[in-house]
Structure 1
Amino acid sequence: MSDHAGTEAVLPEGEGVRRRDFINIAAVSAAGVGGVITLLPLISQMAPSADVLAESSTEIDISAIQPGQAIKAVFRKQPVFVRNLTPKEISEAEAVDVSSLRDPQTLKERTKAGKENWLITMGVCTHLGCVPLGAGEGEVKGEFGGYFCPCHGSVYDTAARIRKGPAPKNLQVPEYAFTTDTVVKIG
């Protein structure tokens, strides 16, 4: 007679291991679902709000801007200058020796092919973030005919390139595309 008879139930081979594996998988799965449920609100609150998404791009009708005129618009809560350059302003900008510039860029690098008369830049001085003058009617354009920052005296040319003063860089050109001949989409 065996010592173990009647005192212990015998399980089929590996049955105990399978139950233990199931319990481990169930516990890890429950913890994972709990973690996802906890983190989901935290992650979703970091998504941009509807008003920010609405400002991620701006469409501007440029049909009323005459050669030599500029307008101020708003893109992502910052001013944008849209300027219709005259042939004279274009030739002045192209005549500048690019190697003499602090931030060397040609007018062609700052405009779109076939639309070289349209200069679109952020209206924020690269020195300390003031809004330069020159886009509004009658505003001071500075000695190079572009933009003048009244805060610290930075002067930009007709291609919005820094020519004089403390600003380290040209006015930034945002991402943009012409959706039609008279509408430009910024952003």
Structure 2
Amino acid sequence: MSANDTIDPSRRDFLYVATGTAGVIGAAALAWPFIDQMRPDASTLAASSVEVDVSSLTPGMSLTVKWRGKPVFIRNRTPEEVKAAQDVALAELKDPVARNANLASDAEATDIDRSAGEGKENWIIMVGVCTHLGCVPLGQQGDFGGWFCPCHGSHYDTAGRIRKGPAPENLHVPAFAFISDTTIRIG
């Protein structure tokens, strides 16, 4: 090539763009397996919701199921337990927020807002993890007849509301729905 020869700038620009494009495609092809492996596997997606048959739970009985790796307490409360929870004034509560994924985040911790709702006030469904340090409370124990976390002494009432001890929040209520009179879908 001599000093008088000219190089076609459009061909050089094309080569730069083509080389850059090939590099980007190669980097994306190399990165995709690493990105793809971060997706949840099929067993995790299958566990995102669970259906529970509660037809055998008579008033006063509880059932614990596993959902997303956590225990979920399902209790068919007795009329006395429902009445005791309804009689508690909101001013007496340590945490006045319902913590119910089915309601607005600022819903008050009334018994009805903690339960399965009108007509199903006897049903309470809660994530069974103490809001203090993540222990699993024991059912139908403690000073208020609800749940008691023996690790640090948190006492919950029959609606799962923190009443005494170091736990800062009520037991959380997951998203759930009755899909029939005897079947609950959690998640």
Question: Do both share a fold (TM > 0.5)?
Answer: yes
- How do 1:82-121 residues align onto structure 2 when only pairs under 5 Å count? 82-104=74-96, 105-114=109-118, 115-121=120-126
Q: Which runs of 5+ in 1 are unaligned?
A: 1-6, 135-139
TM-score, length-scaled by structure 1: 0.84
Larger Cα Rg: Structure 1 or Structure 2? 1
Q: Which residue of structure 2 lines up, in the alignment, with residue 3 of structure 1? A: none
In the TM superposition, what is the alpha-carbon distance from 1:10 to its structure 2 partner? Answer: 8.0
> What is the total number of aligned residue pairs between the two structures?
172
CA distance in 1, matches of 2:134, 2:45: 23
Q: Which runs of 5+ in 2 are unaligned?
A: 97-108
CA distance in 1, matches of 2:94, 2:148: 16
CA contact (8 A) 2:137 2:149 kept: yes
Which range moves more in the overlay, 30-39 or 102-111?
Answer: 102-111
Q: Does 1:38 align with 2:30?
A: yes
In the TM superposition, what is the alpha-carbon distance from 1:73 to its structure 2 partner? Answer: 0.9
Q: Letter of the aligned partner of 2:116 in structure 1?
A: K
Deviations 1:91-147 (A, max 9, x none): 21111011221111111222333322211001111112211111xxxxx52221111
Deviations 1:63-84 (A, max 9, x none): 1111121111111121110011
Q: Which residue of structure 1 lines up, in the alignment, with residue 68 of structure 2? A: 76
Using the aligned pairs only, state the percent identity. 51
CA distance in 1, matches of 2:168, 2:38: 33
SS in 2 for 1:82: strand
Q: Does 1:25 align with 2:17?
A: yes
* RMSD (Å), alpha carbons: 1.9
CA contact (8 A) 2:50 2:186 kept: yes
**Displaced runs of 4+ in structure 1, greater than 4 A?**
7-11
Q: Which residue of structure 1 lines up, in the alignment, with residue 59 of structure 2? A: 67
